[in-house]
Amino acid sequence: MTEIAGKAVELGGIVKRFGAVTAVHRMDLSIEEGSFVTLLGPSGCGKTTTLRMIAGLLDPSEGDITIKGKSVTRTPIHKRNLGIVFQNYALFPHKTIYDNVAFGLKYRKQSQSEIDAKVRQALDLVQLPDLSHRYPRELSGGQQQRIALARAIVIEPDVLLLDEPLSALDANLREDMRVELKRIQAQVGITTIFVTHDQSEALAMSDRIVVMSKGHIEQIGAPEDVYVNPASAFVARFLGNSNLVAGDIVSRSASDVNVTIGGLGGLKVPLGRSRDMADGERAMVVVRAERLYLDQSEAETPADAVSLPAEITAVDYQGQAARYFVSVCGHQMQAINPIETHPYRQGDKVRAVIRGRDCALVPFEASA
C-alpha cells in the first residue's frame, strides 16, 4: 500500500452497491491527520454509507480504505481502532456510565488502575466527572451524548466517526454541543469525520466540508470556500439560501467574467471557480439571499452593481432580519435583509441591488 505521511484516512475508488442500487460511486477522499472533516448532504446522498464503510460496518463493493497508511478494507471493525458516536448514542443500558466508558479499555489489556485513570480523565474532558455510578437512562440527552463521546475517545482511536450525533438533541442544546464537540476535538487533536445533513453544523465545525449528492462528491473545500465559491448549482442551493439565474458569458478578463442575465442586465463576476467556462457559454449566476439588497431610497447604485425594480410578494419575519420573496423583472428571488426600522410589506415596490462581486458562477443546469 502507498504510505502517505499525514493522511489519517484515504478512500481509493470506493464503490458501494446494494443490489441494483449504487449508493456510493467511485469515491476518492483523503483526510489529513488531526482535521475535522464533514460529510454533508441530503438523506440518501451516501454520506452515512461512506461512514459505515470507513467504520467497517459495511464492506465496500470496490475500492480500498486506508487508515494511517494501512489498508483496512479486509479488517473487521473490532480491529480497526475507531471511535464511533451513534445518532442515538447507543450507550449500553445495562451498564453504568463508568462501565460504558471503560468498555473499550477492558478489551485492550490494561490494568485496573490505568482504566480508572483514563475513565476519570475522559469524564473530566466531557465535564461530567460525577456521574460514573449512574445508568444511561438517568441522564439527559445532552449528558448521554457527552458520555458517548467520552466512551469513543477514551480508547485513543485513530479516527473518530460521528454519525449525526447532534440530530437527536433539541435546538438550543444542539448549538451548545456543537461548540463543545469542536472544543474537545481540538483539545484531543483527533482526526474526526462528521456526518450531517445540517449545513449550519457543517459550516460551524469543519476544517473541510465534503458536499455529497447521489453518491458523488460535489465539492470538497473549507467552509468559506464551499459557501462563497460553490462548484455546482447543487452546492449553491444546499448551503444557505441562494438565487440561481441563467446567464451568458460575454467576455472575461484576468480576474472577472462579464455575464448578461436575461432581463436583468450585465454583471462583472469574480472569476473564482469559473476558469474553464468558455465565452458564449451559458452558466448559472448564484446570488446569495443575504447579498440581494432591497432598497427604497434614491441612493446611487454602485458602479459594479445592477439596480432593478422589484416587488415584495411575501414576507417571512425572523426578528432581527426578514426573508423576502421578491419578483425581480419576472424572476422569483429570495432576499434576507436586516431590518432597520420596519420590515417591508407584501406589495411594496423596492429596488433590488445585485453586486457582481457578491455573485458566483456555476455550470449551467437546465432544471434550475
List of residues contacting other proteins (CB under 8 A): 55, 57, 76-84, 86-88, 90-94, 103-104, 107-108, 137, 151-152, 155
Instruction: Work out whether strand 159-163 and strand 192-196 pair parallel, antiparallel, or are unpaired.
Output: parallel
CB of 180 to other proteins, least distance (A): 20
Closer residue to other proteins (CB): 105 or 236: 105
Output the CA–CA distances (angstroms, integers) from residue 37 to 26, 34, 86, 107, 249, in the order listed: 19, 9, 17, 28, 34
CA distance 40 to 289: 21
Burial class (CB in 10 A: 0-12, 13-18, 19+), 145: buried
Enter the C-alpha cell of residue 267: 454583471
CB of 67 to other proteins, least distance (A): 13
Closer residue to other proteins (CB): 147 or 361: 147
CB of 105 to other proteins, least distance (A): 9
CA distance 137 to 127: 18
CA distance 278 to 280: 6
Distance of CA 343 to the CA centre of its chain: 31
CB of 115 to other proteins, least distance (A): 13
Burial class (CB in 10 A: 0-12, 13-18, 19+), 106: exposed
Strand (E) or helix (H) holding 12? strand 7-18
Closer residue to other proteins (CB): 109 or 342: 109
CB of 96 to other proteins, least distance (A): 12
3-class secondary-structure state, position 153: helix
CB of 365 to other proteins, least distance (A): 38
Q: Alpha helix (H) ranges present in the chain?
A: 47-55, 97-106, 112-125, 141-153, 171-188, 199-205, 223-228, 233-238
* Closest to 354 in 3D by CA, of 310, 297, 322, 312: 310
CB of 233 to other proteins, least distance (A): 36
CB of 98 to other proteins, least distance (A): 14
Enter the C-alpha cell of residue 54: 470507513
Closer residue to other proteins (CB): 121 or 327: 121
Closer residue to other proteins (CB): 91 or 335: 91
Closer residue to other proteins (CB): 84 or 177: 84
3-class secondary-structure state, position 111: coil
Closer residue to other proteins (CB): 76 or 319: 76
Closer residue to other proteins (CB): 150 or 277: 150
Instruction: Work out whether strand 349-355 and strand 216-221 pair parallel, antiparallel, or are unpaired.
Output: unpaired
Closer residue to other proteins (CB): 12 or 83: 83
CA distance 360 to 268: 10
CB of 158 to other proteins, least distance (A): 12
